[in-house]
Amino acid sequence: MKDPTVSADLVLGREESANALFCGVPVHRAIIAPLTALQADAAKAGFDLRLVSGYRSFDRQLAIWNAKAQGKRAVLDSAGHTLDISTLSESELINAIMRWSALPGASRHHWGSDIDIYDAAAVTADYVVQLTPDEVADTGVFGPLHLWLDQQFASGGGHGFFRPYAVDRGGIAPERWHLSYAPLAAKCDAVISENLLREILSNVENLCLRNGILDELDKLYSRYVAVPPSCYPEPIFTDLINKA
């Protein structure tokens, strides 16, 4: 499944040459056509599908991680409530951060295949999107958009997009707002590995909690980074199984 156009630097968030702008947000150029089609379908259904975020670099993810580890940015529990990190052990803090935020090098946003979305038609122009479970619940402000997306994905009408964190598997918390473009993401999934991540993180001297991360990386990778092939839509799922 490995593709020579998908490099280690790309999956680690250190290669931006394949990116282009979609409504001002950087994404991998391979997702622009299907994303445009999904946005058009959403518009016909009365939604204004917009992006909160797309591509995110390694350095940006590192800054987010360090800010959370240092208490400069909120660390949330599974319900989306702020934790007092002073009460947590190093291992507990690492796991708490990873419940909602990826390690640098391990974010699917590095690939440009993954996006966070919202419905601009459901809120005023000055609304600040929080990306919380309440917003995307069926009764939340963006619930109608996600109910419509549920129907599209179930019928195979999602233009290749799916939710890698649709359910709680004990790692990343469910993120209904997070969509992934399967044809590209599957290629990136074939390149990322625990060994690749260990190699890069071992050399990042300013990574907060680095020693604890490296000590537990096998468990952290399995729990928070690896996405099972069953999450992918057909025919990508069958292809991944056949080439495993």
Per residue in 100-141, pLDDT tens?
999 999 999 999 999 999 999 999 999 999 999 999 999 999
Q: Which residues lie across from 115 on neighbouring strands?
A: 179
Residues pairing with 26 in the sheet: 21
The confidence score (pLDDT) of residue 73 equals 97
Residue 80 three-state SS:
coil
pLDDT in the model for residue 203: 97
Of 66-70, 79-83, 194-198, the least confident: 79-83
What pLDDT sits at residue 4?
74
Question: Given pLDDT bands bounded at 50, 70 and 90, which one contains residue 196?
Answer: very high
For the chain, percent of residues with pLDDT exceeding 70: 96
Averaged pLDDT for residues 206-234 = 95
pLDDT of residue 45 exceeding 80: yes
SS3 content of the chain, % helix, strand, coil (to 5): 45, 10, 45
State residue 2's pLDDT score.
Answer: 66
Q: Which pLDDT does position 5 carry in this prediction?
A: 82
Q: Which residues contact 243 (CB under 8 A, 6 or more apart)?
A: 1
Average pLDDT of the chain, as a whole number: 94
> At residue 166, does pLDDT exceed 80?
yes
pLDDT reading at 237 higher than 50? yes
Contacts of 39 (CB under 8 A, 6+ apart): 49
Over residues 48-68, the pLDDT tens digits come to 999 999 999 999 999 999 999
pLDDT of residue 79: 85
**In the prediction, which pLDDT does 244 show?**
47
Q: Please name the CATH architecture into which domain 8-242 falls.
A: 2-Layer Sandwich (3.30)
- Token readout for 209 is 């909690």
Query: CA dist 106 to 37, 97, 167, 192, Å?
Result: 28, 13, 19, 8
pLDDT at 243 over 80: no
- Has residue 39 got a pLDDT over 80? yes
Residue ranges of domains in the chain:
8-242
The answer to whether residues 13 and 56 touch, using CB atoms and an 8 Å cutoff, is yes
